[in-house]
Amino acid sequence: MREAIQAALKDAMKSQQKRRVATLRLISAAIKDRDIAARSQGKDAVGDDEILQILAKMVKQREESARIYEEAGRLELSEEEREEIEIISEFLPRQLSEEETRAVCAGVIAEIGASGLRDMGKTMSALKERYPGQMDFSKASGIVKEQLQ
């Protein structure tokens, strides 16, 4: 993941795509911040799974910002946020549709033998381990809760 991001940054710099360069630098900075935090706790540099989490969080932040800008009538700022979302999303795996998420949740529930809401944590943990960056876990949480009731 790191190599792909750095290669994309070099390409963007060569082709002078300012928005892309700025966004890719933000991604690199977020990863380096997480590396520093991990080192201070005696851990190794973050792996691809954590990088996916960082990217997913960045997308979520920008979606929220874009929504706020739209509500305030600042469409040009909203458009900038949406452009950044597109750039960040290039490095994320394909997102599962709602139907696919429902099917995956049902499969994990059946596989681990979850029978009630007390098994929700175990189910969500299994989903996060198997599908990092591929679904919105807040929506998945609602689906799991619905299926366990």
pLDDT for position 81: 95
Is residue 59 domain-shared with residue 25, that is, in the same domain? yes
Is residue 78 domain-shared with residue 144, that is, in the same domain? no
Token pair for 16? 């002078």
Going 79 to 81 to 85 to 88, the CA torsion angle's sign is positive
- Angle at CA 129, nearest 5°, toward 32 and 44? 30
Q: Nearest CA to 27 among 75, 79, 88, 83?
A: 88
pLDDT for position 43: 84
pLDDT for position 20: 95
Q: Nearest CA to 134 among 59, 44, 33?
A: 59
**Of 40, 70, 89, which marks where a domain is finished?**
89
pTM over 0.85: no
Token pair for 14? 């060569």
Is residue 107 domain-shared with residue 130, that is, in the same domain? yes
- 95/81 Cα distance (integer angstroms): 19
pLDDT for position 133: 73
**Of 55, 89, 123, which marks where a domain is finished?**
89
Neighbours of 115 (CB within 10 A): 9
- 38/126 Cα distance (integer angstroms): 23
CATH of the domain at 54: 1.10.1510.10
pLDDT for position 75: 94
- 137/86 Cα distance (integer angstroms): 20
Is residue 57 domain-shared with residue 123, that is, in the same domain? no
Which residue shows structure tokens 């469409």? Answer: 75
Could you read off the pLDDT tens digit of each residue along the chain, which spans 149 residues? 889 999 999 999 999 999 999 999 999 999 999 999 888 888 888 888 888 889 989 998 999 999 999 999 999 999 999 999 999 999 988 888 889 999 999 999 999 888 888 888 999 999 988 887 788 888 889 999 988 88
Query: How many structural domains is the chain composed of?
Result: 2
pLDDT for position 25: 96
pLDDT for position 134: 82
Which residue shows structure tokens 């710099």? Answer: 13
pLDDT for position 92: 87
User: What range defines the domain where residue 144 resides?
Assistant: 98-148
pLDDT for position 50: 86
